[in-house]
Amino acid sequence: MTARDVCGATSLGQDAAACALRRILAPRSIAVVGAGRRRGGAGHETIRALRDYGFPGRLHVVNGSGRPVCGVLAHRAVTDLPSPVDLLMVAVDTDDIADVLNDAGGLGVRGAVLLGTGPRGDDPWGDRQRREILRIARRHHIRLLGPGCLGVLNTDPRVRLNASLSPLRPPSGGLALAVRSGAVGITLLADAVREHCGISSLVSLGDAIDLSGGDLLGYWLDDQATRAVALSPDAFSDPAGFARAAWFLSRRKPVLAITGAADPVREELLAEAGVIRTASVGETLDTARILVDQPLPGSNRLAIVGNAGGLTALAADRARTYGFDVVPLSGPTRDHLPSSAGPDGPGNPVDLGIDALPARIADAAETIAVSGEIDVLLLVLVGTRANVLAAHLAALAPILDDHPRLTIAAISTGGTADVHQFGRSAVPVFREPEQALRALAHARDYAAWRRFPPARRPDPGRGAIRRTVTTGPGGAGRGAFIQRL
C-alpha cells in the first residue's frame, strides 16, 4: 500500500502533496526569507537552528540588506537565489508573503513553510489575504504549511533538519508528530526529551490553509523511519475525512490522537479507524514508547515479576482493572521458578522479595518468558540502600533481548539513575504502574483492532457501530473489538 492508495490519489494535487512533503521534510536546499542579523526574529532563529543541528544541504538567506546571517551568505531578493530551492522558510510581514511566493514560483520551489502569525482568518481583510496567498501558491504548484506554524523537524541523521522555532532537540526515533499549535508541539517535544521517546519528524500545520493532517498521514505511511504517528487534537478539523485516511495508516502503523473530551460521534469514527485515543500529552508519549519499540501484544495474558512487594500486588490489581488476564502459571512453570517465589498458588505475580539478587529475578523472568503462557511481561523493581537497580536491569537485559516477540515494560522506582529504557530491545521503563498498564492496554486494544479491522473505511453515514467491550478505567474502549452492523 502506498500514499496513493491512502488518498485514492489520481489528481495532480495529491501527487504534488506527496512530492512537496518529501521536499519539506527531506530538502537538499533551504532558503530562509526574512532572516535578519538580530537574534529573536523567526528567520534568524530558524537559520541558527538549521546551522546548529548540522543541516548538510545548501543554506541561503534572503534579506533586504544582503548581509550574511550566522555565517550564511545572503541575497537581497528571492529572485537572486540560485535554483533549484527545495524548501522556502518564509518569515516576512503578512503583506509581503504573496510577493515572496510569486518570486519563488520561477525557482522550482514546491514547498514553503509560513512562519509567524500570518493573516487572520476571522476578519474580512485577513480572509482575503489568505485566499490570495493560496491562489498564488496553487498557480505556482507550491504547497504550504502554515501560516502561523512552529516549523518542521526531521531527526534522520542523513537529513538533520531543524527548521523550527523549538528550543528542544529530541532524540532520534520512530514517532512522528503533527500539531497545529506551536505550544502543543513544544510540549510534546519536551515530554519526548524528558522520557527519551525518539522522534522521527515533527510537522507544525499552523492555520493549515493548504497541507493538512490527512496529507501527512499519507506521507508517513511510506516513511520507513516512522513507526507510529501522534496528532494533537486540533490537527484534524474534519474528523470524518481524517478517520478515512487514518484507517489505511492504522492497518500498518499505530495512529494516536489526543482527543480529550471529544463528542461521541467523533470518538466512534476514530475508534472504527483504529486510532488510539489518548487524553493527555503524557499518556500519548507513554503509549508511543510501547508502540514504537515493543511488538504488539499477541493476547491479553500478562505476568508480573518483581521485588517490590506491595507495589507488585498493586500492579496486578491495576492490570486486572485494565482488562488484562493475570494468568495462573502452570505447575511445570512454577516448579522452575526460584524457590522464594513459592511452589503453591497461582505463581503470578511473582514477587521475589526486596532482597532478591539480580540473577534470581532474571531467572524468574526467563522461566516465564520461555513458558509460552503469556504475551505481556511487566517487571516491577524497587531500589533500596541494600540493592542496585542498575544491576537488576543489567541482568535482565540479555534475557529479555532473547524474546523479541514478547511485549515487555518495566516499572522502576527508588533508584538514583534516571533510566528510561534498557537492553537492545529498548524495554521502556516507567515510574508508576498506572503509566505502564495504561500504555500496554492501548497497545493491546490496537493489536486486537489490527487482527479484526472493519472491512470498510469509516463512513459517518453508514449505520451504527457495535462494540464488544471489556470495561476498564476511562470507560468504554478497553479491550474493544469493533464490528459494523
Residue 16 contacts residue 141 (beta carbons within 8 Å): yes
Residues lower than pLDDT 70 in the chain: 1-18, 119-124, 260-262, 339-346, 416, 455-457, 459-485
CA distance 78 to 89: 11
pLDDT at 477: 36
One-letter amino acid for residue 328 of the chain = P
Cell numbers at 167, concatenated:
528550543
Distance from C-alpha of 133 to C-alpha of 97, rounded to nearest angstrom: 7
What pLDDT was estimated at residue 457?
Answer: 66
Q: Tell me if 25 sits within 8 A of 154, measured CB to CB.
A: yes
**Can you tell me which residue has the cell 506554524?**
149
Q: What is the dihedral of CA 191, 193, 197, 202, to 10 degrees?
A: 80
3-state secondary structure of 344: coil
pLDDT of residue 346: 61
Residue spans of alpha helices (H) in 179-263: 182-195, 213-221, 239-250
Residue with cell 550566522: 70
The pLDDT value recorded for residue 20 is 78
Q: Which helix (H) or strand (E) holds 134?
A: helix 124-139
pLDDT of residue 396: 97
Domains of the chain: 3-290 (3.40.50.261), 295-443 (3.40.50.261), 455-484 (no CATH)
Which cell numbers in the block locate residue 224?
Answer: 520507513
Cell 500570518 belongs to 118
Whole-model pTM: value is 0.88
Alpha helices in 278-388 (DSSP H): 281-293, 310-321, 331-336, 358-371
Quick one: angle between helices 264-272 and 239-250, nearest 10? Answer: 20
Angstrom distance (rounded) from CA 99 to CA 406: 56
Q: How far is residue 452's CA from residue 446's CA, in Å, rounded to a whole number? A: 10
Which is it for strands 421-422 and 427-430: parallel, antiparallel or unpaired?
antiparallel
CB atoms inside a 10 Å sphere around CB 24: 28
3-state secondary structure of 175: strand
8 A C-beta contact, residue 60 and residue 75: yes
Beta strands 376-382 and 199-204, pairing class: unpaired
Q: Give the count of beta carbons closer than 10 Å to the beta carbon of residue 222.
A: 16
